[in-house]
Amino acid sequence: MTDKPQFIRLLGDERRVANTLAGVSKHWQGDKECFLFISPHDDDVVLGGGLLMQLAQLENVPVYIMIVTDGAMGYCSNEEKDTISQIRQAETFECYQSLGIPKENIFWLGFPDCQLKLYTGRRAADKNEKAVYQGFTGLQNAFTYFLRKTRPTQCFLPTPTDLHPDHKIVHEEFLISVFHASGNIWPELGKPLEKTPYFNEMAVYCDFPTQPQLQMKTPMSFLEKKLQAIGAFRSQRQIESLIKIVRNAGPYEYMRSVDYNFYNPDNYKVRFKEDHSIGYMHR
């Protein structure tokens, strides 16, 4: 049994195996690589990607984490009702710093928990508004701002199959923000990205929408560190059952890369060609 990490990526009929992520990646950009994890709630990305965060550092890839909501609805006792957000913020920094992520790479956006529907898009901020960047609020505003600030080559976030509406909204708003960030609009939010980052999904609560292509296996010590990091979220008592699942599954994580599938009329021409359509009719 090896104590090195193992990566397996399935690409069509090809099965790539290596001890590094660079070794199984088609578009690895060397020392330009930079990962951004997007966490609807504070604990989501450590559950889905706590091993990958450690693996990235082995390959000298900087890791940024963006926590979208303020966790204000996650109280499990009346005493914590008014203070839960500060408690969770402290737990967040403890958790991710214990995985080697520097404090300045962890962004707490502070959008109101369970109210993300009210923050889709972008609008000029009123007085006392939450999550204001350059005079505007809204998820697309914040995501574009932080994408241009961190300039990731790859982004990792929970699948849209999770039942929590905050997860679905973050997925949808982030995907369009990747394109805002790569274009010339909203110049006050920073310089456009030179290259659109790759988009990867991690499973947290529900299965992947289609099969993941990447499996990561680490030495057991990485799993122990991940479990300890998850344990920092002491205020989240419901997390116990998740810790059990993570422990029982062993040191494995999976990622699904999402293709953007841009429309190009050329993709459809062959289908309507005369000789092709004859064949099609007979099938």
Using CB under 5 A, list all residues that contact Zn ion: 40-41, 44
Q: Output the smallest distance, CB 33 to Zn ion, in A.
A: 26
Minimum CB–partner distance for residue 69 and Zn ion (Å): 8
- Pick 132 or 206: Cβ nearer Zn ion: 206
Handedness of CA 22, 31, 43, 144 (dihedral sign): negative
Nearer to Zn ion, 41 or 217 (CB): 41
Select 33 or 44, whichever has its Cβ closest to Zn ion. Answer: 44
**How near is the Cβ of 72 to Zn ion at its closest, in Å?**
13
Which residue is nearest to Zn ion, using beta carbons?
41
User: Minimum distance from CB of 204 to Zn ion (Å)?
Assistant: 7
Rounded least distance, CB 265 to Zn ion, Å? 39
Q: Kindly state the smallest distance separating residue 134's Cβ from Zn ion, in Å.
A: 27
- Please say which residue, 40 or 138, places its beta carbon nearer to Zn ion: 40
Q: Which is nearer to Zn ion, 193 or 246 (CB)?
A: 246
Nearer Cβ to Zn ion (21/169): 169
- Compute the distance between CA of residue 263 and CA of residue 273 in angstroms, rounded to an integer: 19
